[in-house]
Amino acid sequence: MSRKIRKAIFPVAGLGTRFLPATKALPKEMLPVVDKPLIQYAVEEAFAAGIEQIIFVTGRGKGALEDHFDHSYELESTLKKRGKSKTLHTVEALIPETGSIVYTRQNQPLGLGHAIWCARDVVGDEPFAVLLADDLVKAEKPVLSQMVEAFKTTQSSMVAVMEVPPQQTDRYGIVGGKREGDKLIRIDSLVEKPAPSEAPTNQAIIGRYILTPEIFDLLKRKEFGAGGEIQITDAMAHLLKTQAIYGYLFDGIRFDCGDKAGFQMANIAYALDNPTIGDEVLHYIKEVAAPHFDTV
Ligand code: G1P
């Protein structure tokens, strides 16, 4: 039987300490790339892939996320009065249909696997997606859409993967396995943040997952792994004993927006592509910044 991916989990409870002080009172997922917060890129990607229900696994101090996807009557009526219909439309368009966003809380910082487990009752017994908003991927066809398409054939759990420099394996979940065609790797090992000397490959998991619901029983065991946290990668390594899991070699450029340099690079890439400010930014890079490069 062919199953559809209808629900997506967004773990958004993290503290964002790498971006302090910016993230002291602002959720890191609200940091903007040009003019859109990271979380909105991820939510738009999910809806574009046919997701019907968004599940935020949130925490203390994350209220701005809820407000972002809700009406702001004062703002909307002011924009209307001022005749700013285009801006009004932009603000209204990002509000999902009533009831299509569900919020649950991760009330202890026990890791990504635990955050996903917190949404078990909202997901129920069906395959689902997980999106990590920190991983922003610029692609013609959004990554989750690429994966949902592949899932129609595999009907198996799947993670987005890309090659990373071998010395960086300790920043990622790493997979090993055999290539099946152009885009898929049939995974035979998964390990969370291995030292370069212990990594089976340099194929890293990027924050897009499709998981079958059996993962929840494995997460329930609450096994603590790398960094003393409950890791989704470890639960998937257990799942591998009973089910196939695929790596999906996506098309697109990934920016690590959980990292200051990656976040700035994302801003440059999206700014250059922006019809309103692209030329101005390009001019700055070429005429002002670049001539300075040799002197720094
Ligand atoms: C998480 C996952 C890791 C994955 C990474 C992708 O790590 O645990 O397997 O490779 O996201 O961004 P984190 O970056 O939250 O430490």
- Write out the chain's pLDDT in tens, 296 residues: 688 999 999 999 988 899 999 999 999 999 999 999 999 999 999 999 999 999 999 998 888 999 999 888 999 999 999 999 999 988 888 888 888 999 999 989 999 999 999 999 999 999 999 999 999 999 999 999 999 999 999 999 999 999 999 999 999 999 999 999 999 999 999 999 999 999 999 999 999 999 999 999 999 988 898 989 999 999 999 999 999 999 999 999 999 999 999 999 999 999 999 999 999 999 999 988 888 776 65
Helix ranges restricted to H, 158-250: 215-219, 232-239
- Determine if ligand 1 sits within 6 Å of the CB of residue 233: yes
In whole angstroms, give the CA distance from residue 245 to residue 152.
Answer: 14
Is 219:154 a contact under the CB 8 Å cutoff? no
The residue whose CA is least distant from atom 10 of ligand 1 is 172
Calpha distance 136→131 (Å, rounded):
10
Which mutation among 130, 143, 205 tests ligand 1's pocket best, with the greatest number of atoms within 8 A of CB? Answer: 205
* pTM of the full structure: 0.95
Q: Which atom of ligand 1 is nearest to the CA of 134?
A: 12
Nearest CA to ligand 1 atom 7: 172
Cα of 39 from ligand 1 centre, angstroms: 16
How many angstroms separate the CA atoms of 209 and 128, rounded? 8
Which residues 6+ apart lie within 8 Å of 210 measured at CB? 5, 127, 128, 129, 130, 147, 148, 151, 157, 158, 159
> Which residues are CB-neighbours of 76 under 8 A, at least 6 positions away?
88, 91, 92
Nearest to 183 by CA among 222, 141, 234, 235: 141
Pick the CATH number of 7-258 from 3.30.230.10, 3.90.550.10, 3.40.50.1980, 3.20.20.70: 3.90.550.10
**Nearest-5° Cα angle at 112, 106 to 117:** 60
